[in-house]
Amino acid sequence: MPKDIYFQIMKEQLYLTLFFIIMAYLVNWIVIIKLGLIINNNSFKIRKIIFPWATIGVIYSLFGKNIIPEYLYFFTTLILLTLFLKIITGVNVVKTFFTALISFFMSIVSMFLFGQPLLISDLKLIFSKPVGIIVGSLIEIIIPIIMILILRKRKSPKEKVRSKSFSLIFYVFFLFIAYYFLAIIYYILINSNNYNLWIFISEWLLICITFLVFLRLRVTINKEQQKRQEDQSNYLLETIFSKQREYRNYLQVIKSLVECRKTSEITEYIDQILAEMPVADDFDCGENPILASLLISEQIKARENGIKITAKSGTSLSKIKNAIQIYQILKEVLQYFIEREKTIVTDDHRIEINIKEEQNYYLFEVKGNARQPLFSNSQMVDYYAHQHGKLQSIEKIIKEIHGEYCYLVINDELVGFNFKMPKETRKRFWFPLFFDN
């Protein structure tokens, strides 16, 4: 807040105005941080943003301009926003910086789009008063709020985030170019005779371009969501068809045994089918049917390759945090060990899954076969290079959602992968109002 505004508030004792200024700054920081988190595909509740991140931002906005030179204020604000997003998400600095830049640029776009008409009208004097700070702060969050509404359903598995990030960067860059050229035209024609007419035309062009960009971005996100749903449906459909073929084979074998009147063999065969059939009895399906269906789907796929998956769960995962990402991690780890089992020559292909609940976290244990895959030397190098790339992508996702992992190695061979994820916990602060952590 500028010094002259601060002195004016203190001199005229405009404490109610100061309160509304603080609230406007608080809402501004919450919206900007929330937009950055959504762009990073990170779910973070608003009440967790308020303290301490938005509160620190309010203190910075109130006193920053009294300490920091005007020409550095933009860069220090961008650095502070980058620091907030880095601490919250744990994403690498370069990606966090560009996320903060996009989020901050949206507030500039909003001010340029909606604040410009006020600056050329008789209402421009309002910005020299304390009320102008409130008006300016609220104007800055119009476009960011629209972006949040557009991107709020943008949650997806990690492999889909990259394409969406490129789409978002492309549209934001296009918006930046459009605003940049219209700003140049605006300052060139500022002294022309038809100044008001050009301002009116430029404002309508900005509104139309912004609306078209947002509409196109929304359409792109809807198409990607539809494609993801189709992929999930195709995956389930393939699983159902494969199981249908398997049951048809079972019935044909039973029919042949009946024709041969082999009653004891029929009983043994049915018992074998029941023993091998994947079930969800070890899971609390009422509490977490998604995890149960995921494991059953993977069990069905593994059965086609002669691999048996046994799963035990001592918890319903009722307090699971970042559920979508954790299910994706578990699925990729399972697929990694299924691919590894295919390369092992043995009659006992087995993968064991164990899920435990501790006081502050959930522990996921996945263990495969202890035998070494059989390859030639050149195939072995290619195989481990490919598998190491898969493990690195899994490690990256675990780090991004603040989890931990470790490897189970026997005789220099990787046979298991464990990872633990923090629970959704509630902590209380020494304040009259309590916020969830």
Model confidence at 282, in pLDDT bands (50, 70, 90)? Answer: very low
What is the rounded distance in angstroms from the CA atom of residue 356 to the CA atom of residue 362? 6
pTM of the model: 0.58
Q: What is the strand order of the sheet 413-422 is part of? A: 308-313, 350-357, 361-367, 413-422, 404-410
**Contact present, 338 and 301 (Cβ < 8 Å):** yes
Render 138-205 in DSSP notation, one character per residue: HHHTHHHHHHHHHHTT----HHHHHHHHHHHHHHHHHHHHHHHHHHHHHHHSTTSTTHHHHHHHHHHH
What tokens were used for 44?
Answer: 């973070």
Compute the radius of gyration of the chain from its Cα atoms.
29
Rank 158-167, 207-216, 271-280 by mean pLDDT and report only the highest: 207-216
Q: Is the peptide bond before 52 cis (omega within 30 degrees of 0)?
A: yes
What is the rounded distance in angstroms from the CA atom of residue 304 to the CA atom of residue 341? 12
Instruction: Out of 57-61, 107-111, 324-328, 331-335, pick the least confident.
Output: 324-328
Domains and CATH numbers, the chain: 3-229 (no CATH), 280-437 (3.30.565.10)
pLDDT higher for 416 or 314?
Answer: 416
What is the rounded distance in angstroms from the CA atom of residue 315 to the CA atom of residue 309? 18
Q: Kindly tell me if the per-residue pLDDT of 436 is higher than 50.
A: no
What tokens were used for 343?
Answer: 């390369």
- Alpha carbon distances (Å) from 27 to 23, 105, 211: 6, 17, 24
Q: Kindly tell me if the per-residue pLDDT of 410 is higher than 90.
A: no
pLDDT the model gives residue 343: 78
Cα-Cα-Cα-Cα dihedral sign, residues 317, 318, 319, 323: positive
pLDDT tens-digit readout, 174-219? 777 877 777 777 667 666 666 667 777 777 887 888 888 888 877 8
pLDDT the model gives residue 22: 92
| DSSP-derived 3-state class of residue 116 | helix
Q: Kindly tell me if the per-residue pLDDT of 429 is higher than 50.
A: no
pLDDT tens-digit readout, 314-369? 777 777 777 777 888 888 888 888 888 887 777 778 888 888 888 888 888 888 87
Residues 6+ apart with CB under 8 A from 236: 297
